Amino acid sequence: MSDGVMKNPSALSNEEREKRMWEKIHKGEVVETADEMSDDYFQNLTNLMLQQADSELAGAFGYVPWIMKAPTTEEKLAVANIVKDEVRHARAMYRLLEDLGIDVDSHVSKHDYTMRVDLKADELKSKRAADDRRVNIFYYTIDTWADFVMFQFCMDRGAGHQLEDVRKSTYGPWKREIERIFKEEMMHVNHGDFWVKKMALDRSTKAEVQAALDKWYPRTMNIFGKPKTAHNATYRNYGLKARDNDEVRKGFTDEVRLKCSEWGLKLPDWKPDWQKIEEDGVISG
C-alpha cells in the first residue's frame, strides 16, 4: 500500500462489484467483503478506517508518559489500561484493513506516531502536521494532568459522537468492531468526566482545568470538519456516515455545554475559519 490511492484487491470488475454493493445496501444489508465494493466505496471506506487506526495509535503513544506521571498508583494503572485499550483499538482497525488487502505494516513503518508539534507553533486549525492519517489533535502535546483528563473529556467525547455514525455503517466488519471499541471509549470519557468535575469543583484546581478547557475545546471542535462538504456527502451516500459534520459537532457541543454549566466552567468561544480548512472531519478514539 502506498500513502496515495489504495487499490481494491478484488478480481471482479468494478461494475459487478458496484452492482452487488447497491443490491445489498438497498435491501438494508451490510457489505462484508472487498468483492462487494465499488472502487469508490473501497477508497472512501479505507480512507476513514485508516484515519481512525492512525489516530488510535498516535493517541496511545501520546498517553504513555502519563502512566509514569499520573498522580496516584491507582491512576497509573488506569492510564496504563487506557493506553492498552487504544493500542488494541488501533490493532483492531489495522486488522480490518489487512483483511481488505492493505499492507498495514508498510504504512505504519513510514510514519512517526510519537511526533508532536512545537507548543510555540501556530495552531494547526484542521491541517495536518505530517503525512500520516491521524486526526490533527493528536499532533499536540499533553503537558499536564489537567490536559490529560480534559483531552478525554473533549476529544474522546468528540470521537464517541463520530463513532455513533459508524454503528450504523454499511460495512459490516467495521460496524461490529466499533461496538466493542465504543464501549471502551465511553469508559475513557467517564474517566475524564470524573476528573474534570473533581478539579472544576475544587477552588485550588478550577483555574487549571478551565485553562485546559480553553485549550482543548477549540482543538476538538476542528476535528469534525467543514459543514456540507463533498466528502461528507459521499460518505453519507454510501452509508459510511449518517450525519453532516455540523450535526455531529452540535451534539458534542450541547453535551459539553451542559456539563460545563453544571460544574461552573465557562465554555470558550470558537469561530471556524473555513477558508483555511484543508481536510474533512475524521473519526478517532
- The DSSP line for 73-86 is HHHHHHHHHHHHHH
With the C-alpha atoms ordered 41, 249, 66, 144, is the resulting torsion angle positive or negative? positive
* pLDDT digit string, tens, across residues 175-226: 999 999 999 999 999 999 999 999 999 999 999 999 999 999 999 999 998 8
- E strand or H helix that includes residue 9: none
With the C-alpha atoms ordered 85, 283, 3, 141, is the resulting torsion angle positive or negative? negative
CATH number at residue 149: 1.20.1260.10
Locus of grid cell 453535551: 255
Contact between 246 and 221 (Cβ < 8 Å): no
Please check whether residue 24 lies inside any domain of the structure: no
Amino acid at 131: D
Maximum distance among all Cα pairs of the chain, rounded to whole angstroms:
65
Please check whether residue 44 lies inside any domain of the structure: yes
Residue 277, pLDDT score: 44
Query: For residue 148, what is its C-alpha cell?
Result: 490529560
Please check whether residue 27 lies inside any domain of the structure: no
Q: Which range marks the domain in which residue 42 is found?
A: 38-276
* pLDDT digit string, tens, across residues 101-133: 999 999 999 999 999 998 666 677 777 888 899
Please check whether residue 155 lies inside any domain of the structure: yes
Please check whether residue 8 lies inside any domain of the structure: no
- pLDDT under 70: residue ranges of the chain: 1-5, 119-122, 274-285
Please check whether residue 14 lies inside any domain of the structure: no
Residue 78, pLDDT score: 97
The DSSP 8-state label assigned to residue 171 in this structure reads: B
Q: Is 134 helix (H, G, I), strand (E, B) or coil?
A: coil
Residue 285, pLDDT score: 42
Euclidean distance between the first and the last CA atom of the chain, given in angstroms as a whole number: 24
Please check whether residue 242 lies inside any domain of the structure: yes
**Using CA atoms, how far apart are residues 165 and 158, in angstroms rounded to an integer?**
12
Please check whether residue 281 lies inside any domain of the structure: no
Q: Could you give the number of structural domains in the chain?
A: 1
The packing angle between helices 172-200 and 245-263, to 10°, is: 30
